Structure 1
């Protein structure tokens, strides 16, 4: 299976030991330089919700620790980022749009890595400045034939766990998701 990287996309495996991956604006978190300053900004769910509402942080939260394949794709008004046919065929669900107010770049990694600087194990993605709508897609990469080796690990070119689409927010769109849990619970 050949690795496919659409234009405007970057992918990597990112990990969390704090139960949540996030996409964030590093400029908004310049003051986070150690655990104490991180704790002041992000320890409680209400702190996280405040950053979500401000458009500085978007959760990729399925409620667990681990390493996850994440592909981040950004688009423009003229050429919006969309899922590929392959991704669509294996999509399990999608979030409602989250607001992200871009200042030119976004980072994705474990919530414990949120700061003003990109560290190792964090995805960095240029994003056009302005109000963006971010939709997170959960992908069942294991359902694709040939996606796993004999130990069950993803082979090169396997689909990621998450596809994150970042597009300019539509004018007048003001209703964005603000929940810490990225996806609605099944049957409710």
Structure 2
């Protein structure tokens, strides 16, 4: 696919995702750090800061930030209307995008990836760009359903060459 078509496909995909996720968060999202009452998976001094790029009005992105904070991460939220340049800079392939993009310790984390998968990535340190969870699967962190329903989804490892492979499956497969 020519670069101009890839750019347009990525732009359209991000536009569709960000339009689908425009509910106002419960509280305004600014630069935030780990909540003191959150049960930490590890000491915050041992966890790197996660930079989260998202739109200011995305409620599910704000819920994902809370998921990270509850695990003990310090989160640097960077609200932006234009996420495409971030996704392109970090090498998120077309068709693998979501409504927010994060950076942590040299890795990209695209979408509603569970904190356990991020901790595994940081512990195992594979030679890879990071993790991607395309779309916005129901039941993933930040996309929880009132009835507890989980749409099966697979977090993928994003290789340095841009290819992906299954990293962790969630829900019933």
**Which has more helix, going by share of residues?**
2
TM-score by length of 2: 0.27
TM-score by length of 1: 0.26
**Which has more strand, going by share of residues?**
1
Q: Quick one: higher RCO (CA 8 Å, sep 6+), 1 or 2?
A: 1
